[in-house]
Amino acid sequence: MPERSLYIVAYDVSDPARQDRVRGIVRRYAAGGQKSVYECYLTTGEREALLGRVSRAIDHRTDRVFVLRLDPRSPVHTLGIGVPPSDAPFFYAG
């Protein structure tokens, strides 16, 4: 089974229709998140597919998408009612 890494995917999309489209794409890969920041456990292939789909959906002149791979050696800290992210046994994308 391919190894997954935890990524934070955040976006700032100016047009509401494009924003909805990007949100829909990112949420298909997300394990959790809210508003415009999501936690995604991705294989290399899933990351490339996500980036390709998002790249086709945004306007590169006005929109921004940030994908950050978190270091797996670093512990996750949550505050308030935050729940630490966990890698589910399987993901359904579709």
In words, the CATH class of domain 5-69 is alpha beta
pLDDT: is 21 or 3 the higher one?
Answer: 21
The pLDDT, as a whole number, for residue 51 is: 96
Say if residue 94's pLDDT is above 60: no
- List, for residues 26-47, the tens digit of each pLDDT value: 999 998 888 899 999 999 999 9
Helix and strand counts by DSSP (H, E) for the chain: 2, 4
Question: What are the domain boundaries of the chain?
Answer: 5-69
Say if residue 62's pLDDT is above 70: yes
How far is residue 39's CA from residue 62's CA, in Å, rounded to a whole number?
A: 23
